Amino acid sequence: MSRTRSTGRTALLAALGLVTATGATATVLGTATAGAATPGCKVDYQITSQWNTGFGANVTVTNTGDPVAAWTLEWTYAGNQQVTQGWNATLTQSGTAVTAKNVSYNGTLATGGSTSFGFNGSYSGTNAVPATFKLNGVTCNTATPPTTPPTTPPTTPPTTPPAGTKADNPYAGAKVYVNPEWSAKAAAEPGGTKVSNQPTGVWLDRIAAINGSSTSMGLRAHLDEALKQKGSGELVVQLVIYDLPGRDCSALASNGELGPTEIGRYKTEYIDPIAAILADSKYAGLRIVTTVEIDSLPNLVTNVSGRPTATANCDVMKANGNYITGVGYALKKFGAIPNVYNYVDAGHHGWLGWDDNFGPSAELFKQAATAEGSTLANVHGFIVNTANYSALKEDHFAIGDSVNGVSVRQSKWVDWNRYTDELSYAQAMRDKLVSIGFDSHLGMLIDTSRNGWGGTARPTGPGATTSVDTYVDGGRYDRRIHLGNWCNQSGAGLGERPQAAPAAGIDAYVWMKPPGESDGASKEIPNNEGKGFDRMCDPTYTGNARNGNSMSGALPDAPLSGQWFSAQFQELLKNAHPAL
């Protein structure tokens, strides 16, 4: 499975409407007037998960009126729903009436600006979506109908793009495929039914995974199941394309089956068969998201000669060009299929967030996107933090903070990085990519499957201002020993539930890495999948240059990467944030 690594500067020198298969959603539209702003708002209230007595919800508020410096959203439940826990807003409830107020960092809403918050709740009986919302006292369901009714009704719903074109955000207005194999494993765990209906990525990490076996579903089996889940609406299927020659050149746990020079096999035995299946007209009604070659391209920036973290294997892959060739070929083949949406891996902030990694990585992504006859148009977006643990948003410290005149960037944890969390990194990387020629509608995905960092160790405020290190370490949600630790991390928790359009420039939060699948074995285990033993998965390992010679922070007794790891799943449930 996917591995990511940190390469620091000093220490290392270096849209609306997504629902799960059993969820519910409603969109209440308010006034949207071109030209001068008038009072109005749009509210998207999504039930993102639901079980016998509880549910999770996400609310996106869009201001279509004049800019506001603070906001209050109100609604009333028809049943006995009770809000039990919220995030990104201050929620109070009196009887059936709920009030949500902005917190310090999301109160300002420009005309057309949006923000999101979420909460968990309890209920019995029915769990109906509220009918009416008010933003700062203005009712949000007062859209004015046209004075002259259209002579013919629209032929397609607003969320469905015209034939032959792609949706700007494939997750908007769509359910997302729930992998029944992962779902069954999750549901079999104590407490697992709370999340077993969540959508996760399907990893095609070897040639044999395309056809499957007597004990595992192949690609066609997944797509056929997706058609059943789709019904009459839209449905996204998430695939991880992950079998490059010389795969994951700076790690061992996630090495692959193809040797460094086997680019021919990659094209003809791996990419071509996948593309042929995806192009089958039977699946034309699915929105197929491909996340292309996790971890490959960033390695060519940070782990090659000239960097202290260089490896001979990464030098080989940079010299032979097969990462660039392979990614370009995959993008060209998949990009030619009308209902396929390519998202390229862009590492994470703890890998590429440093000044000397950020820009060169963007340029390398462009090089790969235009290799093998591909064009930038074949890239719908990028994905960050896949299979990693970087916090989505650090609330208790910012990159511009200083303590006693010392910048947060000088703290041991931040280590001169330009970013503190994945959301700020994803948005900045998007802006950089657009500036060098990628489409202005480029969308980002953030893998939030294991970056919640909840539980009893989650800080509730900033650290002490004794020093910049006590300030950062005391307040950071990400509780890893070092930002470079990546394997089966102790203390990690499930992160934000999958949802569409949660923030500006972000197409969706996704669970691309299925929670409970191991990052790598804690000790050497012979296998026929080409997967080696990486000491970063050994809890007794005292580290290397990539993690500041720190302990690995890995859980013990882990199986091979991709295999089910019950202890890790239980750890993720226990430390989930938002809590289950």
Instruction: Give residue 53's pLDDT.
Output: 80
Residue 62 has pLDDT above 50, yes or no: yes
Higher pLDDT among residues 464 and 37, named by residue: 464
Known catalytic membership, residue 205: no
Query: Kind and range of the H or E element at 568?
Result: helix 566-574
Instruction: Give residue 396's pLDDT.
Output: 97
Which token pair is 543? 């580290």
Instruction: Give residue 162's pLDDT.
Output: 64
Of all residues in the chain, the percent with pLDDT exceeding 70 is: 89
Q: Give me the mean pLDDT over the 494-516 stretch.
A: 97
CA angle centred on 453, ends 457 and 345, rounded to 5°: 155
Q: Give me the mean pLDDT over the 16-30 stretch.
A: 36
Summarised one tens digit per residue, pLDDT across range 360-403 is 999 999 999 999 999 999 999 999 999 999 999 999 999 999 99
Instruction: Give residue 163's pLDDT.
Output: 57
Known catalytic membership, residue 295: yes
Q: How confident is the model at residue 66 (pLDDT cuts 50, 70, 90)?
A: confident
Q: How confident is the model at residue 250 (pLDDT cuts 50, 70, 90)?
A: confident
Pairwise CA distance, residues 302 & 545, whole Å: 13
> Where do the H-state alpha helices sit in 114-206?
180-187
Summarised one tens digit per residue, pLDDT across range 328-371 is 999 999 999 999 999 999 999 999 999 999 999 999 999 999 99
Catalytic residue among 205, 478, 507, 519: 519
Instruction: Give residue 29's pLDDT.
Output: 30
Q: Give me the mean pLDDT over the 71-91 stretch.
A: 90
Contacts of 515 (CB under 8 A, 6+ apart): 186, 195, 200, 449, 450, 494, 568, 569, 572
Instruction: Give residue 161's pLDDT.
Output: 63
Residue 239 has pLDDT above 60, yes or no: yes
Summarised one tens digit per residue, pLDDT across range 434-470 is 999 999 999 999 999 999 999 999 999 999 999 999 9
**What are the structural domains, with CATH classification, of the chain?**
30-139 (2.60.40.290), 195-394+401-517+526-574 (3.20.20.40)
Least confident of 18-27, 167-176, 275-284, 447-456: 18-27
3-state SS string for 45-98: EEEEEECCCEEEEEEEEEECCCCECCCEEEEECCCCCEEEEEECCEEEEECCEE
Summarised one tens digit per residue, pLDDT across range 146-196 is 334 443 433 434 445 665 679 999 999 999 999 999 999 999 999 999 999
Pairwise CA distance, residues 556 & 553, whole Å: 9
End-to-end C-alpha distance for the chain, whole angstroms: 26
Instruction: Give residue 291's pLDDT.
Output: 98
Instruction: Give residue 164's pLDDT.
Output: 62
* Average pLDDT across the chain, whole number: 88
Q: Give me the mean pLDDT over the 81-109 stretch.
A: 88
Instruction: Give residue 160's pLDDT.
Output: 58
Contacts of 288 (CB under 8 A, 6+ apart): 236, 237, 239, 278, 337, 339, 340, 341
Instruction: Give residue 20's pLDDT.
Output: 37
Residue 579 has pLDDT above 90, yes or no: yes
Instruction: Give residue 508's pLDDT.
Output: 97
Higher pLDDT among residues 73 and 55, named by residue: 73
Query: Kind and range of the H or E element at 357?
Result: helix 355-369
Residue 87 has pLDDT above 90, yes or no: no
Buried b (16+ CB within 10 A) or exposed e, 189-206: beebebbbbbbbbbbbbb
Residue 490 has pLDDT above 50, yes or no: yes
Instruction: Give residue 143's pLDDT.
Output: 58
Q: How confident is the model at residue 3 (pLDDT cuts 50, 70, 90)?
A: very low
Summarised one tens digit per residue, pLDDT across range 40-56 is 898 988 887 777 788 87
Q: How confident is the model at residue 532 (pLDDT cuts 50, 70, 90)?
A: confident
Q: Say what angle helices 322-335 and 312-320 make with each other, to 10 degrees.
A: 60
What are the backbone dihedrals phi and psi of residue 301, each rounded to the nearest 5 degrees, phi first?
A: -95, -45
Catalytic residue among 205, 295, 421, 534: 295
Q: How confident is the model at residue 110 (pLDDT cuts 50, 70, 90)?
A: confident
Which token pair is 404? 């006693």
